[in-house]
Amino acid sequence: MNICHLYCKTTDSPQAKSILNSFEGSVSIDISTIETLASYGVYIVEVYKVDKDISEKFKKLFEDKIDSLIYFIVPNEYSLTLFQLAFLLKAKTIITANQDVNRLILKLRSDYKLNQEEHLHNMLGQIVLKTESFIFFKNNELTYASQKLFDTFGWKDLSQVEKNICKQLPLHELLSQDTVTQQQLTLHENSNAYFDIRSSTTEKVEEKFIFLELLKEHVSSEDELSFVSNRISFIEVVKEKFIEQSISSKKISFMTIQIENLKSLQNDWSKVEVEGFLKDFLFEVDKIVDKKIILAQYDSDFYIVIFEDITLELLKSKADNFQHKISGFLSEQQFNPFIDIYAFDTTTLDLNDILSTLGKISNKSITQKDIAKDKLIYIGNAHDKMDEQESIKHLLREVYTNSIQIKLLNIYKGLCINTSATIVKYNEDGVYIKFEHFQGIVMKLEKETVLQSSSFSQDIKAKVKFINLEKKIALVEGFSFVNGNANARKYSRVSCSARTPIIISQFGATLSGEILDISISSIAVQLKYAKLVDHIRADTVMLSFVLPNRNSLEGSVKISVEAKVILSTCKDGICKIVCELLKDDVNESILMEYVYNRQKEIIVEVKKIARQF
């Protein structure tokens, strides 16, 4: 790592001198003596007066420097033109006269390493653009396709790619998670080819690459559904396996797949359309479910998969995986099918018990006693096109039927209260929940709560209609999905006990607001909209504010800390900005103490309220 110190005629910065002495191969150059500038790892710019000629000179020197790491030394007395030049050259940061040199040198080393990594990423990106076949999505919308992909498929523009390629892909699955699959795709000349398909999320979760690597040319013929056995064959296989069990320890287990609304589909769509869907659906089932003994049609809307010699845990894992993948397939269909899924093993069952259980599942007469007795697992309804309320009902029914424990979440004055709970009664309009006492106090105060479970695709917000603190029972209703994680920020945060003003500054410009909540790693700020809000998104800023501190003689402490803006939203002229605090051991200890003390205050407050009930 080498440093180039640039100045104009004079230099007297102690920071520049210390930095140059800390890195071998560093140089100090007067820009008035040069016309071109060699490449260095880091550039330190020291100028005290900026005019048009100096600005043009710097612009010329850096015009061929891509991804340069530039720092500006700012004297105690400075002009706006100096900051304008720093902005023009895309300076990484500003070095002030009283800045700690040792910390600055550590920052230089860290920034240089990150800059080199970013430069390598950019170089690799250029290579990928030329050699890889891929499409790029932002917010689930196709925005770019590589030239290699156009060449491979024979299409000429993005609209043709969307119409002729994207519709062949399982986009829901590829965009919802990073995954790898293989699939046959149709090319421009109606020939077919197999592709290795891989989706990859960038650092921004809304951005997704889908890479398509050609495996082999393959023209397919019309496949028949010979892999689907009938009911008689299914029963014969089960009989044979029961005979084999008498001389071996291998047990069989089942996963059932039921198209709940098949009759409705047959009434709403033509026979040809429904048969076409069923054919594609069964091909997809066969592709997803591996290591099976048989896939059989037990009834017109009811299918069964048999596995051998797998544990109940592995069976559930396979069923969960099937539910997830078939949901992606269903989301691409014009139909609106409800696919209900159960799984169970046969360790304690005979043939009559199995047929009885299958009958109950098919007729929807399963009870919780059956589930406990037959080790039956209700996986859920693999349907991605249901509206929000239908989806929530299915999720709640799943955790209730399988007696899965959930968690309740309330955030009271920034304090996260997140305890276990159980759904003890379910109906179409609401559910009764058994909760812990402390959670119930906050639920009563806020009149709402958030339900969480690993079985939920999203957290579910609910209104509290009735609550009995003595019996620890609540009736909740009015369900809706929460956008994102209800408690997504990393560390516990609290609201301040009193209004706390805060200043956000960057390059001499400032914004004034007040703290919404605070943690040891982040601060949320509310303020009125100003143009500067648009410019600081994903950028580094300085935060200045005052917090109460019992160990200080003044009873408070002033804090100035660097932070990165990670979220900025505005509505009706009011903005919320969330800043991630950069590492600072001194300020971190102050914030840790403040958050801890504030949490204790809020807990005491809730306990006082609890004594009133």
What is the CATH code for 397-481? 2.40.10.10
Beta-carbon contacts of 57 under 8 Å, excluding residues fewer than 6 positions away, are 31
pLDDT tens track for 369-403: 666 665 678 777 665 446 678 778 878 887 887 67
Token pair recorded at residue 601: 């205050």
Whole-angstrom Cα distance, residue 527 to residue 516?
A: 10
- What's the length of the chain? 613
Whole-angstrom Cα distance, residue 458 to residue 462?
A: 13
CATH topology agreement for domains 397-481 and 501-604: yes
Beta-carbon contacts of 240 under 8 Å, excluding residues fewer than 6 positions away, are none
437 has pLDDT over 50: yes
244 has pLDDT over 60: yes
Q: What average pLDDT does the segment 197-213 reach?
A: 88
Banded model confidence at residue 347, pLDDT cuts 50, 70, 90? confident
Look at residue 340 in the predicted model and tell me its pLDDT. Answer: 87
> 481: how many CB neighbours lie within 10 A of its CB?
16
Banded model confidence at residue 468, pLDDT cuts 50, 70, 90? very high
Whole-angstrom Cα distance, residue 431 to residue 363?
A: 24
Which amino acid is located at 304 in the chain?
I
Whole-angstrom Cα distance, residue 560 to residue 593?
A: 16
219 has pLDDT over 60: no
Helical H segments across 332-479, by residue range? 351-363, 368-374, 388-401, 437-446
Question: Beta-strand (E) ranges in 139-278?
Answer: 141-145, 180-186, 192-201, 207-217, 228-229, 252-259
Per the CB < 8 A criterion, the answer to whether 255 and 343 are in contact is: yes
Token pair recorded at residue 5: 């110190």
Look at residue 24 in the predicted model and tell me its pLDDT. Answer: 81
Look at residue 304 in the predicted model and tell me its pLDDT. Answer: 94
Order of strands across the sheet that contains 294-299: 228-229, 294-299, 302-308, 252-259, 339-345, 376-381
Beta-carbon contacts of 545 under 8 Å, excluding residues fewer than 6 positions away, are 500, 501, 502, 503, 515, 558, 559
Whole-angstrom Cα distance, residue 321 to residue 456?
A: 14
Provide, for the chain, the percentages of residues in helix, strand and coil under a 3-state DSSP scheme, each rounded to the nearest 5: 35, 35, 30
Per the CB < 8 A criterion, the answer to whether 165 and 185 are in contact is: yes
Higher pLDDT, 243 or 319: 319
Look at residue 73 in the predicted model and tell me its pLDDT. Answer: 86
Per the CB < 8 A criterion, the answer to whether 494 and 598 are in contact is: yes
487 has pLDDT over 60: no
Token pair recorded at residue 118: 């970013």
218 has pLDDT over 80: no
pLDDT tens track for 554-608: 889 999 999 999 989 998 999 999 999 998 888 888 898 898 888 888 888 888 8
Whole-angstrom Cα distance, residue 373 to residue 360?
A: 13
Radius of gyration of the chain (CA): 32
Beta-carbon contacts of 332 under 8 Å, excluding residues fewer than 6 positions away, are 167, 170, 171, 172
339 has pLDDT over 80: yes
Chain-centre distance for alpha carbon 512: 31
> Cα dist. 70→43, 87, 336 in Å?
5, 11, 57
Residue of 564, 449, 546, 568 whose CA lies nearest to 497: 546
Q: What is 228-385's CATH number, 3.30.70.270, 3.90.550.10, 3.40.50.10470, 3.50.50.60?
A: 3.30.70.270
Look at residue 460 in the predicted model and tell me its pLDDT. Answer: 92
Q: CA 233, 237, 239 angle in degrees (round to 5)?
A: 115
Per the CB < 8 A criterion, the answer to whether 23 and 3 are in contact is: yes
Per the CB < 8 A criterion, the answer to whether 489 and 522 are in contact is: yes
Look at residue 217 in the predicted model and tell me its pLDDT. Answer: 45
Look at residue 576 in the predicted model and tell me its pLDDT. Answer: 94
Look at residue 464 in the predicted model and tell me its pLDDT. Answer: 95
Per the CB < 8 A criterion, the answer to whether 444 and 464 are in contact is: yes
Look at residue 372 in the predicted model and tell me its pLDDT. Answer: 62
The β-bridge partners of 145 are 135
Domain ranges of the chain: 3-125, 132-217, 228-385, 397-481, 501-604
Residue of 188, 174, 159, 134 whose CA lies nearest to 332: 174
Residue of 245, 248, 241 whose CA lies nearest to 304: 241
The residue whose two tokens read 């276990």 is 420
Quote the crossing angle between the two packed helices 231-245 and 351-363, to the nearest 10°: 140
Token pair recorded at residue 63: 């015009």
> 448: how many CB neighbours lie within 10 A of its CB?
14
Look at residue 223 in the predicted model and tell me its pLDDT. Answer: 46
Q: Does domain 132-217 have CATH number 3.40.20.10?
A: no
Residue of 97, 204, 94 whose CA lies nearest to 562: 94
Residue of 299, 317, 189 whose CA lies nearest to 255: 317
Residue 594 host element (H or E): helix 585-610
Question: Beta-strand (E) ranges in 486-573?
Answer: 501-506, 509-518, 522-528, 540-548, 556-571
The β-bridge partners of 95 are 73
Whole-angstrom Cα distance, residue 285 to residue 319?
A: 11
Banded model confidence at residue 100, pLDDT cuts 50, 70, 90? confident
Q: What average pLDDT does the segment 412-433 reach?
A: 88
Beta-carbon contacts of 273 under 8 Å, excluding residues fewer than 6 positions away, are 334
216 has pLDDT over 60: no
Look at residue 212 in the predicted model and tell me its pLDDT. Answer: 92
| Class of residue 245 by CB neighbours under 10 A (exposed 0-12, middle 13-18, buried 19+) | middle
Q: What average pLDDT does the segment 182-188 reach?
A: 79
Chain-centre distance for alpha carbon 63: 38
Q: What is 501-604's CATH number, 2.40.10.220, 1.10.3470.10, 3.40.640.10, 3.40.50.720?
A: 2.40.10.220
DSSP 381-401: E--SSS-HHHHHHHHHHHHHH
Question: Beta-strand (E) ranges in 203-357?
Answer: 207-217, 228-229, 252-259, 294-299, 302-308, 339-345
Banded model confidence at residue 222, pLDDT cuts 50, 70, 90? very low
Residues 3-125: name the CATH superfamily.
Cobalamin-binding domain (3.40.50.280)
Residue-averaged pLDDT of the chain: 84
Residue of 307, 325, 343, 55 whose CA lies nearest to 181: 325
Which amino acid is located at 62 in the chain?
F
Look at residue 28 in the predicted model and tell me its pLDDT. Answer: 92
Per the CB < 8 A criterion, the answer to whether 336 and 390 are in contact is: no
